Structure 1
Amino acid sequence: MPEQWNNFFVMVGGGSAALVGLIFVAMSINHEIILRNATHKNRAINMLTGFSAIFMASGLALMGNQTPEMLGFAWLVLWLIATVIFVRGYVIAIRTGMSSVGLNAPRLAGGTLCYLAEVLSAVLLILGCGSGFYIAAVAIIVLFAFLISGAWLLMIGIYEDLGK
């Protein structure tokens, strides 16, 4: 019963929208440093993409007159795009090696697993399995924490660059 999830999606959707705004403001203050450093630039893109994807997924979940299967299809498209952006950005950041703050295999694996769990939740909804909502909820919560830590790492990296 998707309507049981309304409060959850209102909460995470609103929280992610607020954090997108805060990150955007922080990025605009330090845009020159971010644009000069491939690690910072890709991390910023990943933070904005992740929080925006959570916001969009929440908005899609709150739309009326749709079946879980329809929601699953919309989520599948959304989370596949977000997954590609995340992995691509992380790989570019690692290859350029401009900032080593938080660039490691466990963070790449952890983030990728969060996104793939969202893809799995979408597939389960398409197949008519209500457990997709539970997997999506847990993955969103973990992804939220992952993105917040990524935003913190972005700020630490910028601070280190300011000191150089």
Structure 2
Amino acid sequence: MEIAEWSDLFVAVAGASAALAGLIIVAMSVNIDVIVRFPSLPSRAGATISVLVLATVVSVLGLIPAIPLAWLGAATILFALVCLGFALESTLRLVRDDARAGILKGAVLVVPALAFLAGGAVLAAGSVAGLYFVVAGMVLGFVGTVLNAWVLLVEIRR
């Protein structure tokens, strides 16, 4: 299996995640006055965007012709760590509001970042099989970001 076989997936994810990130940023700007009133929501918004940026960056890097797996893995690890930082900071704020629910709400973005991190480690070790972890991170990231987008756009208005 070659990384080039994944190019259609990378093209689709790069386009979808970049478009979704832009739409969420614009949509959140409509509710920014409400979002900043809640201590945990600005960091939740940042973590949400960071997962989409992570998916976009890894997808674009995966499209570089003949990129060495080690480089793709190292870059995935680097960007996943940044994303994980945002997700953990958001989770800590959510836990301060409500310990049990905060852990569950935070896990929606922590788990995808961890999947990207695992994928990056396997890629850096030289195995294209790491892309399966990356794809898991992408899918879980889309689910988590859509859930958080719903909260940031609709639930805060209730």
* TM-score normalised according to structure 1 size: 0.87
- Per-residue CA deviation, residues 94-145 of structure 1 (Å, 9 max, x unaligned), is 32x2xx7x94323333432221111011010111122101111122112211
Equivalent residue, structure 1, for 2:41: 40
Q: AA paired with 1:47? A: T
- Per-residue CA deviation, residues 51-74 of structure 1 (Å, 9 max, x unaligned), is 111111111111224211111011
How many angstroms apart in 2 are the aligned matches of 1:40 and 1:84? 16
| Contact residue 42 and residue 93 of structure 1 kept, 8 A | no
| Contact residue 117 and residue 136 of structure 1 kept, 8 A | yes
Count of aligned pairs between the two proteins: 156
| Contact residue 39 and residue 94 of structure 1 kept, 8 A | no
Equivalent residue, structure 1, for 2:55: 54
Equivalent residue, structure 1, for 2:4: 3
- Alignment of structure 1 residues 28-107 onto 2, 5 Å: 28-95=29-96, 97=97, 103-107=101-105
Equivalent residue, structure 2, for 1:126: 124
How many angstroms apart in 1 are the aligned matches of 2:50 and 2:93? 16
SS in 1 for 2:7: helix
Distance 1:147 1:33, change over 3 A: same
How many angstroms apart in 1 are the aligned matches of 2:26 and 2:108? 26
| Contact residue 68 and residue 128 of structure 1 kept, 8 A | yes
How many angstroms apart in 2 are the aligned matches of 1:111 and 1:46? 7
Q: Tell me the C-alpha RMSD between the 2 structures.
A: 1.8
Identity percentage of aligned residues? 26
Q: AA paired with 2:116? A: E
Equivalent residue, structure 1, for 2:142: 144
* TM-score normalised according to structure 2 size: 0.90
SS in 2 for 1:146: helix
Kindly report structure 1 stretches of 4+ aligned residues shifted beyond 3 Å. none
Equivalent residue, structure 2, for 1:116: 114
Unaligned runs of 5+ in 1: none
Q: AA paired with 1:135? A: F
Deviation at 1:159, TM superposition (A): 1.0
